[in-house]
């Protein structure tokens, strides 16, 4: 399975995928990392893993569609088959979603369909839920929607802050995102279409 990973920030999920591949848990290669934020740490991690990183800064494009067209071109140039959104903080348009129909996976730090959008961990804390978690899902046009692949739950503890709760959720993210990619890779292989 040839993966393209898209990240906007720290890239700990990128790291978890790269490690799972190195450990032989996923039969896949990371073709390219696309990042949109010049100060993201994800490309530093990519360099250490020998993965090519391409900066596509959304501020350089006049619309979301033009930006997504450039992303699709880049993914195709690197022969990407599946796209993994690993902390990608931009809304996708049909330009990208249709080019990789049912082959875009997202990780979101809540138990969807609760707490869509940004600040999901803060939303959970404010709602006073006692169980939080994360969701890996296939991407459809509506933000943080589409068929759910895997979820994991964590407790919310009385003294939690956004930081402590997010850290607990991220431990689960780093487990279920590689697991979901492994499932996708296995499905692909059983249909004989994968590599
Ligand atoms: C994760 O919490 C993910 O669920 C959210 O953005 C965060 C990215 O973390 N969409 P990282 O950059 O992979 O460390």
Q: Does the Cβ of 106 fall within 6 Å of ligand 1?
A: no
pLDDT of residue 32: 98
CATH fold of 2-190: Rossmann fold (3.40.50)
Largest CA distance in the chain: 50
pLDDT of residue 192: 39
Say if strands 148-155 and 131-138 run parallel, antiparallel, or are unpaired.
antiparallel
Q: Does the Cβ of 133 fall within 6 Å of ligand 1?
A: no
Mean pLDDT of 137-154: 94
Lookup result for tokens 């995102």 = 177
Mean pLDDT of 103-132: 97
Q: Please, what is the end-to-end C-alpha distance for the chain in angstroms?
A: 6
* ipTM for the complex shown: 0.96
pLDDT single digits (tens) 150-182: 999 999 999 999 999 999 999 999 999 999 999
Could you tell me the pTM of the whole model?
A: 0.94
- On whether the CB atoms of residues 194 and 188 are closer than 8 A, the answer is yes
Mean pLDDT of 116-122: 96
Nearest residue (CA) to ligand 1, atom 10: 87
Token digits for 158? Answer: 């009385």
DSSP code of residue 157: P
Say if strands 82-85 and 104-108 run parallel, antiparallel, or are unpaired.
parallel
Spacing, Cα 191 to ligand 1 middle (Å) = 31
Q: Does the Cβ of 86 fall within 6 Å of ligand 1?
A: yes
Mean pLDDT of 116-130: 97
Beta strands in 97-177 (DSSP E): 104-108, 131-138, 148-155
pLDDT single digits (tens) 15-48: 999 999 999 999 999 999 999 999 999 999 999 9
Pick from 65, 63, 61, 46: nearest CA to 5? 46
Kindly give the number of the ligand 1 atom that is closest to the alpha carbon of 86. 13
Res. 189: pLDDT tops 60: no
Res. 190: pLDDT tops 60: no
- Best residue for ligand 1 mutational test, from 6, 7, 8, 9 (most atoms within 8 Å of Cβ): 9
pLDDT of residue 163: 98
> CA 19 to CA 178: how far, in whole Å?
9
pLDDT band per the 50, 70, 90 thresholds, residue 185: confident
Mean pLDDT of 5-13: 98
Could you confirm whether 108 is annotated as catalytic?
Answer: yes
Lookup result for tokens 């619309």 = 63
pLDDT of residue 184: 85
Q: Does the Cβ of 68 fall within 6 Å of ligand 1?
A: no
């Amino acid at each position: 399975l040839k993966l393209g990973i898209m990240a906007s920030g720290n890239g700990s999920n990128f790291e978890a995928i790269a490690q799972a591949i190195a450990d032989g848990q996923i039969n896949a290669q990371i073709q390219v990392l696309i990042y949109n934020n010049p100060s993201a740490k994800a490309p530093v991690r990519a360099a250490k893993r020998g993965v090519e990183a391409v900066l596509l800064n959304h501020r350089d494009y006049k619309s979301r569609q033009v930006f997504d067209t450039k992303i699709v071109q880049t993914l195709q140039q690197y022969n990407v088959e599946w796209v993994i959104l690993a902390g990608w903080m931009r809304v996708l348009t049909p330009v990208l979603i249709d080019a990789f129909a049912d082959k875009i996976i997202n990780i979101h730090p809540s138990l969807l369909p609760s707490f869509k959008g940004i600040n999901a961990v803060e939303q959970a804390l404010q709602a006073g839920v006692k169980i939080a978690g994360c969701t890996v899902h296939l991407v459809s046009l509506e933000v943080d929607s589409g068929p759910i692949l895997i979820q994991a739950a964590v407790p919310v503890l009385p003294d939690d802050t956004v930081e402590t709760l997010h850290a607990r959720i991220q431990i689960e993210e780093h487990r279920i995102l590689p697991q979901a990619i492994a499932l996708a890779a296995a499905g692909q292989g059983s249909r004989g279409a994968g590599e």
